[in-house]
Amino acid sequence: MGDLLRLRGPLACIVGARPNYMKMAPLVRAFAARSDLPGVVLIHTGQHYDVAMNERLFADLALPTPDLNLQVGSGSHALQTAEIMLRFEPVMDQYAPSCVIVVGDVNSTLACSLVASKRGTPIVHVEAGLRSFDRSMPEEINRVLTDQIADVLYTTERAAADNLAREGIAPSRVRFVGNVMIDSLLNHVGHAIPPLDTLLRAGFGAQFLADPAGFGVVTLHRPSNVDRADALRESLVVLRDVSARLPLVWPIHPRTQRNIERFGLSSLLTGARIALLAPQGYLETLGLLSNARVALTDSGGIQEETTALAVPCLTMRENTERPVTVEQGTNTLVGRDRDRVLSCLDEILESGGKRGRVPELWDGRAAERIAADLSRWLAERQRDAELVQA
Ligand code: UD1
């Protein structure tokens, strides 16, 4: 009977860090809309904790307050991952979930998956199969390992299935459903906050956005770009030189802010046309992105959001785990190569740059498809368990 009861347990939905929230919000809504699915418990690991990185996004996305916050906070990868595991294990006893639903590739994704796997609770991974093939990225390790132990893998682009097959994952576990992050984008872009409001609220004058060329948006936080002084210096030089041609708005991640100060690099930005802002809410970010001439980023999500918005994106990395944004979308990989960035920028300013098209199934209905499939899958498991009991 224990197994049968567990199959009726809630869906344990895990969030930990900022990029998880826009993926989980449409899922929680789609799960709640189906009476044939168990209820949801929303568990926040506390990997991100600042109001700017958290509460504001929860409010913008209409995400319910988590049922539980494990409050792990920051630390080394080992410490953070281990601490999440220790704190999540008793939660599994408390809720006896029918499955654990994880999104993306942050430390919280892997840590909760490991706990669930060792307790025999099924894992559902949303945004599975993305690969940068760069194992120096902490996210790549989180992706590969989570996918190995996940029972159901929902993918955002077709190439993901090939990556998973190559790693020996049975195709029967993999479903191509589209992109839940784009569900959130399409849901909220109509309510995006105009860039001028965001700039004025941050204390900048209207003249900052008065350049006829428009403005660019920057986000930068990957360890490979910001954790070493030489790499961060190169990144800042690129941004400074771009800003001579196009004013830039940069909501700065706390990791990057801290490292600019720690490495004594602030002077590189003196006099540059760069509006440094605190981390912004979701609606402010959508307002900035959808009105930008170009985005310069090393984020995964922004490569996808700019493709969906048809805004050119220059990705300051040597690789991407999201090849569809390059092959079909508006994304170009530029690394920290100053000349390459400036020549791509010139092309964007002259001719608009890559226009691209919206990839297959990025249509705002991925979460609905996942909810329907999950309902079928759980019902099948229930039937199988009843047959075994009979
Ligand atoms: C994490 C994810 C990354 C994701 C990013 C989005 C991993 C391995 N990395 O990286 O994939 O793209 O989130 O932001 O999971 N900090 C604060 N306030 C907060 C959270 C963090 O000030 O609310 C500072 C702390 O100094 C912390 C640093 O930012 O040490 C880094 O935070 P952490 O969660 O370790 O990694 P991110 O760089 O945010």
- For residue 38 and ligand 1, the question of a CB distance below 6 A is answered with no
From residue 249, give the alpha-carbon distance in Å to each of 39, 40, 283, 380. Answer: 41, 37, 15, 50
Q: Dihedral angle at the C-alpha atoms of 329, 333, 339, 345, nearest 10 degrees? A: 20
Q: Is 47 in the pocket of ligand 1 (CB under 6 A)?
A: yes
Any ligand 1 atom below 6 A from CB of 19? yes
Pick the closest to residue 326 from 349, 344, 338, 343 (CA basis): 344
pLDDT in tens, the chain (390 residues): 455 556 689 999 999 999 999 999 999 999 999 999 999 999 999 999 998 888 999 999 999 999 999 999 999 999 999 999 999 999 999 999 999 999 999 999 999 999 999 999 999 999 999 999 999 999 999 999 999 999 999 999 999 999 999 999 999 999 999 999 999 999 999 999 999 999 999 999 999 999 999 999 999 999 999 999 999 999 999 999 999 999 999 999 999 999 999 999 999 999 999 999 999 999 999 999 999 999 999 999 999 999 999 999 999 999 999 999 999 999 999 999 999 999 999 999 999 999 899 999 999 999 999 999 999 999 999 888 888 887
41 CA to centre of own chain: 21
50 Cβ below 6 A of ligand 1: yes
Asked if residues 219 and 253 have their Cβ atoms less than 8 Å apart, the reply is: yes
- Catalytic positions are 221
The answer to whether 146 and 127 are in contact (CB under 8 A) is: no
307-337, pLDDT tens digit by residue? 999 999 999 999 999 999 999 999 999 999 9
Give the integer Cα–Cα distance in Å for 167 and 154.
Answer: 16
| Residue 129 tokens, joined | 């199969």
- What pLDDT, on a 0 to 100 scale, did the predictor assign at position 1? 43
* CA 5 – ligand 1 centroid, Å: 37
- Alpha-carbon separation of residue 166 from 86, 144, 147, 157, 163 (angstroms): 32, 11, 12, 16, 5
Which pLDDT score is estimated for 4?
Answer: 58
- State whether the beta carbon of 197 lies less than 6 angstroms from ligand 1: no
For the CA of 221, the closest atom of ligand 1 is 38
Give pLDDT tens digits for 159-170.
999 999 999 999
pLDDT for res 3: 57
Both tokens assigned to 318 = 């040597």
Q: Are 315 and 323 in contact (CB under 8 A)?
A: no
pLDDT of residue 276: 97
- Ligand 1 atom nearest the C-alpha of 107 is 15
Position 53 scores a pLDDT of 85
Q: Of 5, 132, 3, 60, which Cα lies nearest the Cα of 279?
A: 60
| Ligand 1 nearest-atom number relative to CA 104 | 11
